[in-house]
Structure 1
């Protein structure tokens, strides 16, 4: 009994730790399980590189004079979404090459096939999103600017 109790604090710390140090697809799935969370400041630790720089610039522009630099949701490649349909149809395909990974999220949203490409980098914090893109709508976060 005492041995079991000694393990509980360790188990609790592991169970409540942020899910950053998993497979690349798991890091991306977080954003589909929590649609709209990609722009929330408390999720900045899930980003690195160009994606992090753009999100920080967008926050700074909003705080400065309420300039809105993000006009759609990156994970769904649009402004509106059917979360139940996305959850039911979501497929994540990952390709890992050392400390880099690409994850393609394929899903249906209001009956329309959609693909969003995620580029991740493995850092000391785990797999973090470095870029997000849509070939269909020709945008890439790393090419976005926010003044």
Structure 2
């Protein structure tokens, strides 16, 4: 019986979410990151897609937010909204170096043209999201600045 449980646990780990993988190109990482959004599914835990620095901002925000309250991020910055129906998805690698990259992602979210520019870093054997900037006529934002403003 224990062997069956161990085998099932190992199989579950082996089939774990895409975020546990290391991606050798910025485009490959962002395609995997957006895959659940495009499919209309709820995204898995995104921690594995983020840099250590960006994860530290999320962690600090979580620790500073009282239980039951909303943290600094009141929307999904990766889709520039809360609800989503992603179409016309495109990735443009604007600048790719050995350790950093700037990548523009464009798509329509519920028919609304959306542009998000990513700052990526290569760390822990793969590309990770380090920051992003949402460009929208009503509200442009930089993710790290939202966290900074919440800290006061």
- Normalised by the length of structure 2, the TM-score is 0.70
Aligned to 1:102: 102
User: More helix per residue: 1 or 2?
Assistant: 1
**Alignment of 1:123 onto 2:123:** yes
Which residue of structure 1 aligns with residue 81 of structure 2? 78
Task: Report deviation, 1:115.
Answer: 0.5
SS at match of 2:144: helix
| Corresponding residue pairs, total | 127
Shift of 1:28: 1.6
Instruction: Say if 2:105 and 2:116, in contact at 8 Å, map to a contact too.
Output: yes
> Hey, what's the Cα distance between the residues in 1 that align with 2:24 and 2:104?
16
Structure 1, unpaired ranges of 5+: 1-12
The partner residue of 2:23 within 14, 21, 24 is 21
Contiguous gaps of at least 5 residues in structure 2? 1-12
Counterpart-to-counterpart distance in 2, 1:113 and 1:25: 20
Q: What's the CA shift string for 1:43-82, capped at 9, x where partnerless? A: 32321154222211233245x4233122111121011111
Corresponding residue of 2:61: 58
Q: Aligned partners of 1:50 and 1:133: how far apart in 2?
A: 16
Secondary structure at the counterpart of residue 20 of structure 1: coil
Secondary structure class of the residue paired with 1:65: coil
- For 2:145, which of 136, 143, 146 is the aligned residue? 143
Are 1:37 and 2:43 counterparts? yes
Q: Could you say what secondary structure the match of 1:89 adopts? A: strand
| SS of equivalent to 2:78 | helix
Give 1:93 deviation, angstroms. Answer: 0.7
| Higher-RCO chain (CA-CA 8 Å, sequence separation at least 6) | 1
Which residue of structure 2 lines up, in the alignment, with residue 9 of structure 1? none
**1:81 partner SS:** coil
C-alpha displacement of 1:107:
0.6
TM-score normalised according to structure 1 size? 0.72
